[in-house]
Each structure stands twice: as C-alpha cells, then as structure tokens.
Structure 1
Amino acid sequence: MQQKPIQIKGQFLEDSVKIGQQIHYGLSVRHGKNQEIFFPSVNQNFGAFQAVERTYFPTKTDATGSIDSAVYTFQLFRIENQHSLAIPVYLMQEADCTKIFPAKDHIFLKRLIPHPEKINVDSLYQHVPIAPLQPKTDLKNVVIWGLGLLILTGLIYWFLGTSLKKWFKLYVLWRKNADFRRTFQRFTRNIENNQIGLQNLERAFSLWKKYIESLTSKPFTTFTTKEMVDTLANKKLAKALHELDSAIYGGNFSGKTTESVNMLVEIANSIYQEERIIISQEIKKS
C-alpha cells in the first residue's frame, strides 16, 4: 500500500518578539503509521534563535495516519527587523534519514524605540547630567597630615600622658563603683527570711568581697572572716560579718541582718573614696 505524502507545518505562535523575550515555534507532521519521524533536539543550531527547551507531544494515530507534534521555545537577541525559521524533521528510511522542511515562517522584532536611527546622539549627551569630578587625593598630603597627627599625638602624650592615665584610672574606678552599687542594690532589694532571700544575701556578700578585692588588690574572696577584719582594721566589720554568716549559713535572719548589709555598703564606699583621693593627689603632682 502506497504511503501518503508527509504533511509538515511549522509556524511561530507569536507575531512579534522583543529582544530576550521567549517565543514559541510549533511543528507538526502528519505521516503514515509505519513511518518513523524524528524531531531535532534543542542542541542543534537554529541560526539567530537560541533554543531554550522542546516540548514533545505523544503521537496521535487514526485511520488516516499518525500525527507527531512539538513546541520549541526560543530566545532572540539579534536586532534585525525580521527573522525566519523552518525546522525540519527526519524521516527514517532503510539507507539513511531524509530531512524534510516546512515552509519558512517569519517573526518581527518589536522595538522599544520605533525609529532608533532618528535619535540625535549628540543631543542626548547634552542632557545627561554629569557629576563633578572629585579632586584626586594627593598621597603626599596624606602622608604629611598623617605625620603631623602622629607628632601631635606624641607631644600630647609627652606632656599629658601621665595625667591622662590617672584620669582614665579615676574613670574606671568610678565606673566599677557604679556597677557594684547597682548590682548590690538589686541583690539586697528582696532580702527576706526565705530561701530566695537568703540566696540573694549570699550573692550580695560574694559581690562585695570581689569588689573589695579589686579595690585593695588583696584576695578577699579567699579570706576568712578574721582575715578580712584584720586587713581592713574596722571594728564594726567583725559584728556585721558575724551577722551575715549567721543568716547565710545558720538561717538566723533578723533585723540586724539588714543593718549589716548597709554596713558593707558604707565600708565599700569608704575604701572607694580613699582610692579616689590617692589618684586625685597623684594627678595634682604630675
């Protein structure tokens, strides 16, 4: 039985395209049931068109033959006004494959500027705002300014270095005292005869010892009660420490416990003031 002639049709699914926009090309072939048809892959050369993908549809067969179809997706980046394309199919035969082309179809380039040839480029340059050029930094001036600043800093340190160190030391001393008072007050705000209150009391006492240690440079955190009393030579301290030990370790909380806490603050403040006086006198001498 003689095969019917192959009918092939290829056409763009859009009338026009912008640069870089995706366009679609439909290709369909009607052929005999026993004929094998192959469509080109997207890896082939399609001229001005860059292939993105190929969507192949299943073969449809009826009494008159078979239909194969596919849609190719392309992108176009050339600026000619019109482009044409005809994608062939391959018919498998005994000896080789026969390439069969459809009629060429055309697509037009859609320009964002209708008549670019009429644009006066010189007039565009005149309307483009040009930012003023910043003066180039002279490396020589940078070096001179840098050396001058270094010398000035050295002179300031030469004449005022010792005093600046003392002032900074005074500032650090004040800052530590402010931090201590704030944290100590937070711990002692809720001292009561219960577990949480006694824990806060223990934290406050531990904080006080660390702060006194930073002021005197002596290991108060490891001292016994007697060693602390002997070091500070404060008669009231012995009674205050006894009350605190009795409350913390023995649970004997009383009104005198609050008085002892206030005594710790007074002692810490007294040592702080003494250190401030010493540093201030050193500043006057320098």
Structure 2
Amino acid sequence: MQRASPFLLGLALLLLASAEPAAAQAPRSRFMRPGTRVGEIVDYELSYAHAPGLEVIFPDSTAEFKPFEYVGKTYYPTRTRRGQSLDRTVYHLRTFALDSVQRLSLPVTLLQGNDTVTVPSTAASVRLQRTAPAPGPEAPVLRQNTTALPVATQFNYPYWLAGTGLLALVAGGFFIGFRRTLRLRYQRYRLRKNHAYFLAQYARHIERFTLSRSLTNMERAITLWKNYLTGLEDNTINSLTTREIVAHYENDHDVNTALRITDRVIYGNQFTEEEAETDMAFILLRDFAQRRYDLVSARPRA
C-alpha cells in the first residue's frame, strides 16, 4: 500500500483540529430552576461561546417562545477571555400551558458577510408544578347559595351629569325659542307691579292730605304722579312745569284742570271752601295715570 505524504497527513490533522472546537461551539440554553407554576415568571438562559470576530445575534421579543410567553429579558455584555468570547442573555418567560414537562430551544443567528446562519441551541426543559389537588374518585358536592348580599349604594355621577346637561340644553333651547315671549311677560309683570305700588302710595298721600290738609302731602302726591309717568313712558315730565306738561299731553282736559287746581292750592295757598274740587283733581290725575298705564301695557314691545 502506498504511504500518504507528510503534507497530506499534516493537512488532515489541521482540519480535524479545527472541526473539533466548531462542534463544541453550539449555543447552550437552560432554565434557571427546574420547576415553575402556571403564570409564574421563570428565567431562561441562552449563552454562546464563539470566536471574538464572529457577529452573533440573539433572539428578541418577536421570536417564537411557544409554549411560553415573553415577558422581558436581561442582556449581559460580551466577555472575551483567552481568545474566546461569551454572549449571554436571560429571558423572563411565563407559561399557561398545562403540559407536565415543557421544552424550549432558541436559535442564535450568525452573520457571515451578506449571509446569515441560524444555529439551534441545546433544548432546555422545565417541569410544571401543579397547585390544584389531585382529583379524587368522586367529585366534590357543591352547595347552592342564592341569598342576595347587601350592596352599598353608590352615586351615579355619569347619569346625573348627563341628565343635568340634557336639562340645561332643554332649558337653553326653551329660552332661545321663547325669549321674546318671556321678555314681554316680564315687562308686563314689572308694569303691573309698579302700577299697583303707585296706586297704593298715591292713595296714602291723598288720605294724609284729607286728614291734615297739609300742602306737603299734596306736593308729595303730585311728585309721585310725575315720577310714575316719567318711568312709565320714559319721558322727563318730572322736570317740566305745569304749562309744559299740559303741552306735552296735547292740552288734555283732565291734566290741565287737575294741575291748575293743585297749583292754585300749593303756590297760592288758596283752599277752596268746597273740598270736592281738590278731591276731583286727585281723581283726575289718578284716572289719567290709569289710562296711560292701559295704553303702555297694551302696546307691543320689542
């Protein structure tokens, strides 16, 4: 048999030496504890020892973790010692599967130029610890209880706020729709109230004048009459003379007669022997104020 050359033998030994560490470079994975419970977080460690110049990518949150669910991860920086680098990441997982033993193997991606190589890790397993008691030969007897328990009453703020808003909306719409009518009603109410007040005060001044025959009470009655007509018709007759007032009301017979009688009494101090003439002057002024009130209250207002 022909013997192999020393060159070919050395090359074969070099290839064997380089292939042996490559087989030992598989990523390793393990669970940090042997058992877990449903919904409980368990740590899964993935580590990979490789050459320092190798580009390694570990799985992120989008990887396939079934039957586990991804919760988070803790990344550790690469450590290089004696010509070998170590990457390590701990994933925080939880499971809701009911299998007694659950396994997981996450792959590691290697970048080689424009290509990528996926290297699977060693499989790790964890045992599910059951907390429910084992079922017996017979199902437990269930006791029925339909008694209603007292519940504390709570204030329903959303419904009250919605009701208040709806009521405000209806009130606003009603006011906008009937604004003119409401304003007219209010104006007429004020007219009636002011007229009733005037009649009461006017009658009181006349009564005091009748009892005392005091010119002060007569002056007060005439001043009240002028001020009432000023506010009723929005004019300035309270600052006018008797002649100007008569002219303002177009020589009205009642106004002319009544004011001339009161002027003769007040300024001339001429009391007539007949009290009927003075009483007639008060009645004429009161009736004239009543007619002006009826005219203004019947007039449409804006």
For normalisation by structure 2, the TM-score amounts to 0.46
